[in-house]
Structure 1
Amino acid sequence: MKAIINGKIITEDSILENKVLLFDEKIIDIVDEKNLDRKTTYVIDAEGNYVSPGFIDVHIHGFSGADTMDGTLDALKTISRDITKNGVTSFLPTTMTMDRQKIYTALDTIREASTKCLGGANILGAHLEGPFISEKFKGAQAKTHILKPDYDFIKDYIDIIKIITLAPEEDENLEFIKTVKKNSDIVLSIGHSNASYDEAVNAIKNGINHVTHMFNAMTPLTHRNLGVIGAIFNNNIPSEIIADKIHLHPDIYKILIKTIGTNNITLITDCMRAGGLGDGVSELGGQKVIVKDDSARLENGTLAGSILTLNKAIKNVYENTDLKLNEAVKLATINPAKNINVFDKKGSLNNGKDSDITIFNDAFEIKLTIIGGDIIENSNC
């Protein structure tokens, strides 16, 4: 058994002090310090820092020079190991709108990697972003391989896909949405969409239950044309946001808390391969990307994902809202776990859950990451 002492333990409702977190592969309990048997326990001193559930990133393309679309175990292992430096303990490798076979190779590799010990963050499945998107709101995705939603395209991968981002206005009679809902528990997410308000509302009624990087790459809200954003506001469905203060004005965080509520906000990074590498030239989906001043853009200026880290996203929301720290952390732990239906195992420090833990300081710098009860630096994978 292991124990974390001298930490401020973050729970859903509060932050506990003068308590000890006991765990092995699973969380055992949170107890008073006086009940700790130091003779039979491996003790980790948190040194006054915060003890949090591990962060979960449900939308990340790459990091440290590696990308999901590389389609290799080495790429996924690099992402897995290096994002633990940002407190991430689980993630969904996210695909791009590219050649069909490249997407299949990426999905095959994600499936294989999800069964292996990568020495870092756990792969919980795949996020399929495209090819079922709107050409008008394609963002940094190449239009060449955009397709109409097609169940046959994904039917052999319903076991590994957790989220599909799509433009529902491209789904004739919403047959794709209805078929996916009938045959799987995949989360259907509206994104890269030119849908009208009515089209978006109808899609939500028929199975869309998630939003991909809200506000970015979708029809906006105006007083006569409410667009996708208006449909989200009126239906309060779980929504990703990229909280890098570049994709969204930071005051949007406050507006979302007031409109759709903290239970429906999930922090993501949408990070691409340039994450963690600093300024320079990189690549996303076969397109040249220029990284400068904390942003990643195509040569025409279009934002191309981000180089955001999840600990920085939490910090940005915490510093630009009135949320308590445990409430801000919830946006990267409890909420994503609930969104992809893994809250029975992940997302909090409740007894019996996987021992995925991160320790960070007041500056949101990661001091230690633990996955499945193992300190990540000591992994043998």
Structure 2
Amino acid sequence: MKAIKNVNIVLTDRVISRGTIIFDEKIREILYSSDLRKYKDIEVIDGMGGYLTPGFIDIHIHGFYGHDTMEGSYKAINTMSENIVKTGVTSFLPTTMTMEGGAIKRALENVAGIKERKLNGARILGVNLEGPFINSKYKGAQMEEYILEPDINLIEDYIDIIKIVTVAPEVSGAEDFIKKMKSKGVIISVGHSAATYEEVERAREWGLSHATHLFNAMTGLHHREPGIVGAVLSSNMTCEIIVDNIHLNPVILKIVTRAKDNKDIILITDSMQAGGLKEGVYLLGGQKVIAKNGEARLESGALAGSVLTIDGAIKNMMRATELPIHKIVNMATINPARLLKVDGKIGHLKEGLQSDIVLLDKEFRVERVYIEGENKVDRVKS
């Protein structure tokens, strides 16, 4: 049994000032003081007035620390796992790219084979399938020659591990695909799409409910053509945002957080191989990417994912908006947990839930990370 005392505990609706959490593999008690007299022989960690949050959940991450989901190997996923945990991420969805069908299947098969296998860091919750069922007009950094019309037959052997799939709802075959995937419990996300507002609204009737990296690679908001962005901002659709101050201007963050219910906004990294490493040349979906000045771009200049981390996204949101800390933290914890229907186990600090816990200092730098009570990171400084 362990205790972290003298810490600001971030709950979903408030922050407990100078509280204490008692935990082993599960959270046993949350106290509003540092009085531990009733506990004997317990390891006590002084939070030094920092912050305690649930473990972060990244639902959209392609790669990190020199490796990528599309490599299709245990080493790649484990390297990502043991390095993103240093940024406070305790659970994630390895995310695919639009590549040759065999490469996508190998990536899915790889994740399926190691989902229950022990990783050194953050756990896998499933897969985020980004492509190949998109529109070439908004391909972004996806490879156009491998874009396909939506077809469930291509991925039906891996439905159990696919949690989110990105689809352009305006393309041929989308309606049938969305309805079938929805019936199997997969979250359908609009992205890399030229859909109109009306097409998104129609697709919502089929089962569309989420948006992949809002504003990026989709029809924007125009006063006569509301587009995908207009459909998302005017509905209860959930949406991802990349808060690296590159993909989105900080002013956009204010607009989104005022237009959308807090529970519908999810912070993602969309990180690629270069995440956590120095500037240089890397790969994303088989394409050369130049990482420089905090950006990741193809040789054409198009953005190609990011080098963002979730703890960095939280700090950027704190600088850009006037939201209270707990509402921002929710975007990286309870909101993705609720989307993936795992909020009964993780995503918030509550007695009886798994002890996925992040201790941060007063500047929100990661100090310690626990997964089911096991110390994975100790005193990491950024």
Question: 1:373 matched to which residue of 2?
Answer: 373
1:302 aligns to 2:302 (yes or no): yes
Q: Alpha-carbon deviations, 1:153-187, whole Å to 9, x = none?
A: 121111101100111111436011111112x1111
Determine the structure 2 residue equivalent to 1:282. Answer: 282
The 5 A counterparts of 1:1-381 are 1-31=1-31, 32-172=33-173, 174-182=175-183, 184-377=184-377
Within 1, Cα distance between the matches of 2:287 and 2:349? 41
Deviation string 1:277-317 (CA, Å, 9 cap, x unpaired) is 12111111111111111000000100000000000000001
User: How many angstroms apart in 2 are the aligned matches of 1:372 and 1:171?
Assistant: 44
Cα distance between partner residues in 1 of 2:37 and 2:80: 36
- Name whichever of 106-115 and 209-218 sits farther off: 106-115
Give the whole-Å Cα distance in 1 for the aligned partners of 2:202 and 2:98.
Answer: 25
CA contact 2:239–2:265 (8 Å) conserved in 1? yes
Q: Percent identity?
A: 48
Q: Is 2:86–2:377's contact at 8 Å kept on the other side of the alignment? A: no
Aligned residues: 377
Read off the aligned partner of 1:148 and give its amino acid letter: E
Amino acid at match of 2:8: K
Deviation at 1:73, TM superposition (A): 0.2
CA contact (8 A) 1:169 1:195 kept: yes
Q: Which runs of 5+ in 1 are unaligned?
A: none
Distance in 2 of aligned mates of 1:36 and 1:268: 41
* Contact 1:267/1:310 (8 A) holds in 2: yes
Aligned partner of residue 234 in structure 2, secondary structure? helix
1:235 alignment partner, SS class = coil
Is 1:20–1:36's contact at 8 Å kept on the other side of the alignment? no
Separation in 2, partners of 1:326, 1:285? 35
How far does the alpha carbon of each residue in 1:55-76 deviate from its partner, in whole angstroms, 9 at most, with x for none?
Answer: 0000000100010001000000
Check whether the contact 1:354–1:372 (CA below 8 A) recurs between aligned residues.
Answer: yes
SS at match of 2:137: coil
Q: What are the Cα deviations for residues 188-231 of structure 1, in whole angstroms up to 9, with x where unaligned?
A: 11000111111111011220111100000001111221211111
Q: Return the TM-score normalized by structure 2.
A: 0.96
Q: Deviation of residue 362 (structure 1)?
A: 2.7
What secondary structure does 1:33 align onto? coil
CA–CA distance in structure 2, aligned partners of residues 236 and 136 of structure 1: 26
CA distance 1:2–1:172, change in 2 (3 Å) = same
Hey, what's the Cα distance between the residues in 1 that align with 2:7 and 2:18?
A: 7
Deviations 1:121-164 (A, max 9, x none): 01000000001011000100101111111111121111101100
TM-score (normalizing by structure 1): 0.96
> Residue 171 of structure 1 contacts residue 177 of structure 1 at CA under 8 Å; is this kept in 2?
no
Aligned 8 A contact 1:55 1:88 in 2:
yes
Structure 1 residue 45 displacement after superposition: 2.0
* CA distance in 2 between partners of 1:19 and 1:307 (Å): 34
In 2, the alpha carbon distance for the partners of 1:73 and 1:196 equals: 40
Residues 33-53 of structure 1 show CA distances to partners (whole Å, capped at 9, x for unaligned) of 324545331222222211110
CA RMSD after TM alignment? 1.2
- Residue 172 and residue 108 in structure 1: after superposition, are their counterparts in 2 closer, same or farther (change >3 A)? closer
Is the CA contact 1:12–1:327 (under 8 Å) kept in the aligned structure 2? yes
Deviates more, 1:357-366 or 1:165-174: 165-174
Provide closer, same or farther for how the CA distance between residues 66 and 8 of structure 1 changes in structure 2, counting only shifts above 3 A. same
Moved more, 225-234 or 246-255: 225-234
| Counterpart secondary structure, 1:303 | coil
**C-alpha separation between the residues in 1 aligned to 2:241 and 2:200?**
18
Using the alignment, how far apart are the partners of 2:308 and 2:51 within structure 1? Answer: 21
User: How far off is 1:12 after superposition?
Assistant: 0.9
